[in-house]
Amino acid sequence: MNTIFDKIISREIPADIVYEDELVLAFKDIAPKAPVHYLIIPKQAIATLNDANLEHQALLGHMMLTAAQLAKDTGIADGGYRVQMNCNADGGQVVYHIHLHLMGGRALGT
């Protein structure tokens, strides 16, 4: 599968990248829902959370710890933030490459 996220990882299309390591890439969402809205994507393609298995456990944990570090780095950790992953159409997933939304910088409703 070749999603828009695969094209961002391979630098075929540009993104405002805020973090990268050997496992993940984080960039600013193009339609932010909060003052800070980053997407954290694994470099390994996994379509949905339903497709993850025990082999992906460390990667999923790394994604969460990356979100926490980015929240600290951007100054939103103390005030609070949201980390969200959508799964499949009814869950609001649009791109079928798992990703975390890190949102903060203001009070977030339910």
Per-residue pLDDT tens for 14-31? 999 999 999 999 999 999
**75 belongs to a structural domain:** yes
Six-digit token string for 86: 């959508």
What CATH number is given to the structural domain containing 19?
Answer: 3.30.428.10
Q: Which of 82, 77, 84 is nearest to 100 (CA)?
A: 84
**90 belongs to a structural domain:** yes
Domain boundaries, position 90:
4-104
Mean pLDDT of the chain: 96
Per-residue pLDDT tens for 52-62? 999 999 999 99
d(CA 92, CA 94): 6
Contact between 107 and 36 under an 8 Å Cβ cutoff? The reply is no
Whether the pLDDT of residue 109 is over 90: the answer is no
Contact between 99 and 41 under an 8 Å Cβ cutoff? The reply is yes
Residue found by looking up tokens 């903060």 in the block: 104
d(CA 66, CA 40): 8
Domain count, the chain: 1
Whether the pLDDT of residue 1 is over 80: the answer is no
**45 belongs to a structural domain:** yes
Per-residue pLDDT tens for 48-87? 999 999 999 999 999 999 999 999 999 999 999 999 999 9
d(CA 94, CA 96): 6
Catalytic center residues: 99
**36 belongs to a structural domain:** yes
**109 belongs to a structural domain:** no
Tell me, rounded to whole angstroms, the distance of Cα 48 from its chain centroid.
13
Q: pTM for the whole thing?
A: 0.95
Contact between 29 and 37 under an 8 Å Cβ cutoff? The reply is yes
The whole-number pLDDT of residue 51 equals 97
